[in-house]
Chain A
Amino acid sequence: MSNDSHAGHADAHAQEHADVDGLGYGSLQSYQVGLGLAALLSALAFGLVAIGGIGSIQATAIVLLAIAIARVVVHLVYFLRVKSSAEGGWTMVTTVFTLMVVVIAMVGSIWIMLHQEINMMPAPGTETFRGQ
């Protein structure tokens, strides 16, 4: 009986440890994959600008945005090991909430300030948001 409870305690401890492992800890292999993918994405971003971009500035900017998001996700997954099971799901919840706030703040700010810029009378000789 006491043996059972001990085993149960050991299981709980192992579970707790596995949860801690979710953040900050990873295997050497996951770090190597992360390093490779991150290096590839960074080289892609610099290469894209070095060749002068693709087509329009907008198209290049969208590709760069996609690379940035991919690079951040690679870092979160392979280096920081953010997953839904870590810390009983709280890591995932706080991360998703933060990203939601970031998207609202960024999109909202850019949207509002862009409209404000358009409605402003441009000062002579200065460049505005759209580079006009």
Chain B
Amino acid sequence: MTTTTTLSHAKDGEAPVFYLTEEHDHDGHSTVIGFWIFLMSDVLLFCGLFAIYAWLGGHYANGPSPLDDGHGGQLFHLPVVAVNTVIMLASSFICALAMVETRKGNVGPALKWFGLTALFGVAFLYNQVTEYGHMAEIGATYQTSAFLSCFITLIIAHSFHVLTGIVWVAILAVQVLQHGLNPANERRAVCFSMFWNFIDITWVCVFIFVYLMGVLR
């Protein structure tokens, strides 16, 4: 057998290897910090949306404002916002309980808490959809005023993150059911918990800067 290689250490009959023949699983050491940096870039996205809202949040264009929806009521319903705040905080804590079980390797309890996290997320989205459905009914859409444009963009950006989190935890649950809490799934669970906490932090900024300060104006 002859080889065309010019490498001095390649022996006859052995094909020279220029690459790793078998990819080894990456150890996941950099995943968490990488995901954290992604979250920081997400912070900058929301920073832009909040900055726009800080500027345009008072431009009602004679349309609905937080305290007056033009139909004798308020546009912002603080009780609904308070309920959503409780839901978000509770789901953060439940997600934390799921992480405690994940760390112990208890598949059943971990899945139970993750499922409850998703359920709270669905409840939150239900409230949001009902609230904005009501706004659309009275003609307060994103085309009505600069205030509503940036307000609804901000809310949809947040709700989309909640939806992404629910889809993520559903996929995670399927993977945990198939493969158990192996290191890869544990890593995904850690990233999910970081993502879900980030959603809660964003909601804190939304309810304080948009809703509570909006009612003060």
Contact = CB atoms under 8 A, between A and B. Distances in A.
Interface of A: 16, 20, 23-28, 31, 34-35, 38-39, 42, 45-46, 48-50, 53, 57, 60-61, 64-65, 67-68, 71-72, 75-76, 79-80, 87, 90-91, 94-95, 97-98, 101-102, 105-106, 109-110, 113, 125-131
Nearest to B55: A113
Given A68-B204, A94-B40, A101-B44, A23 B89 contact: no
B2 to A, nearest CB: 44
Contacts of B201: 72, 75-76
Given A75-B201, A79-B197, A49 B216 contact: yes
Nearest to B31: A20
Interface of B: 29, 32-33, 36-37, 40, 43-44, 47-48, 50-52, 54-55, 58-62, 65, 78, 82, 85-86, 89, 92-93, 96-97, 99-100, 103, 190-191, 193-194, 197, 200-201, 204-205, 207-209, 212-213, 215-217
A34 B94 CA distance: 12
A31 B100 contact: yes
Given A23-B194, A127-B58, A39 B89 contact: yes
A125 B145 CA distance: 14
Contacts of A97: 40
A95 B58 contact: no
B197 A80 contact: yes
Contact of A79 (B55, B78, B92, B205): B92
A57 B67 CA distance: 15
Contact of A25 (B51, B54, B103, B215): B103
A16 B212 CA distance: 43
Contacts of B59: 126-129
